[in-house]
Amino acid sequence: MIPKERYDMMNRKIIVFGIILLFTGIMLTPCIATDNARLNEILSSECPLIFVEEPGTLSGYVTDTEMNPIEGACIRVDFHETYREDYSDATGYYHVTDIPLCYCMKNATGSKPGYIPVSVSLAITENTIHDFILASTGPWLYVGGNGLENYTRIQDAIDNASNGDTVFVYDDSSPYVENIFVDVSITLLGEEKNTTIVNGSTNGTGENPLELFGIWITADSVTVSGFTIEGCNLSGILISSNHTNISDMILIHNQIYGLAIGAMNTNQSFEQSGYNTITKCLITQNMGGVWVSGHHNTITGNVISSNEIGIIVIFSLNSNISHNRISQDGTGVYLSGSYHTVLSRNNISSNDKGIYSMWTSADRILQNNFIGNNESASTFPGFFRQYFFKLDGQIPYPIRRNIWNENYWDKPRSHPYKSPGLLWFFIDWHPAQAPYPIEG
């Protein structure tokens, strides 16, 4: 059963695109163009992006789904055809050191025999913190197919699953016309993403908020892979939890969002929904591709195209958006009310507007390709309003400058790149001379 507080949350006013228009109308202050002196100290080495400074570290705790510490779990960070690793102690604590600092995403994996391995893409800084939650390996439950004990509905299998179980869904009974609620830490696998389809357009009354989503995830440490999610009344997937991994999916023809992380209303907390990863997904032909709120969420290696807005980062802390192909959207990336969003190594092409940024602080827009957009990027920061909300206690983060550096702007440029605008603009002091070879 869905908890009452979740019903109350969803019955509040859902912010879709009206909030974007509202914010656009009330920003009144100029932008200050900035430089990032740290980026001048990049070495030319085997990885040309390694900084001249002390290496980075990754530390945190490893627990099971009941939050008990796991001793002896291996945490391995892979990069540049090598790796660093450490093992958790009796308290579950680990500390991986000597990780080079660069713009490359690094794959961190937590594993131990008897548990399901968990991998996440991270941008390592001087002192990166990430906690791993490992689910113990459990039995498999099957949906569709020919097994005598197989379930016919995905929800029925989930309702009978326990933490650590795997629910495998065959494609022979597709499409599954369901609104799925995941409140247990499981792995949900589709047989093949093109043919295992969840259609969320059930003919409900609208009184039950579950009817708005194809899959609504409230449990931590959930993995979902191998489905097409379509036709949902609000969002194909809603993540209201932590440490969830979504990969190898198709999110198409949903009325508002392909996928949403965190709350979608004005009463949300920045602390909701953290350390979730979205990777290797095709997100297309929705009104909004991905809504990102919460903290420490990663969007990497996806194709996000033909949406009104590709990615919306709003009320968000420490989001990482990298190695995506963002194309043919109305606006590729919309940033508002975010702090320390790292947007790096994306192909942003053939959009009406590549990036629109407002009300942001300490964001880093680095080494992206801007190619063939009607307008590559623009900004409208609203410093006075930010300081007002800071003094009023409504935002928890400091007000700092944003950095635009080493992006490729349609063609080689011998001078710094200035964005259009007289009062509100930014400067990329070191524009790239050639597009970056970006995987994803």
Q: Looking at residues 184-205, what average pLDDT do you find?
A: 90
Where is pLDDT greater, at 18 or 405? 405
Residue 431 is classified by DSSP as -
Looking at the predicted structure, is the pLDDT value of residue 370 above 60?
Answer: yes
Distance in angstroms (rounded) separating the CA atoms of residues 332 and 350 = 9
Assigned fold of 4-34+138-428: Pectate Lyase C-like (2.160.20)
Q: 48-134 has which CATH code?
A: 2.60.130.10
Does the structure show a pLDDT above 80 at 426? yes
Q: Which of 146, 153, 148, 155 is nearest to 181 (CA)?
A: 155
pLDDT of residue 420: 82
CA–CA gap between residue 242 and residue 297 (Å, rounded): 9
> What is the b/e burial string over 22-39, where b = at least 16 CB atoms within 10 angstroms of the residue's CB?
ebeeebeeebebebbeeb
Residue-wise pLDDT tens digits, 238-264: 999 999 999 999 999 999 999 999 976
pLDDT in tens, 132-151: 998 888 899 999 999 899 99
Name the residue ranges covered by the structural domains of the chain: 4-34+138-428, 48-134
Asked if 10 and 211 touch (Cβ cutoff 8 Å), the reply is: no
> Average per-residue pLDDT in the chain?
83
Average pLDDT (327-335) is 97
Q: What is the pLDDT of residue 208?
A: 84
How far is Cα 346 from Cα 370, in angstroms, rounded to an integer? Answer: 9
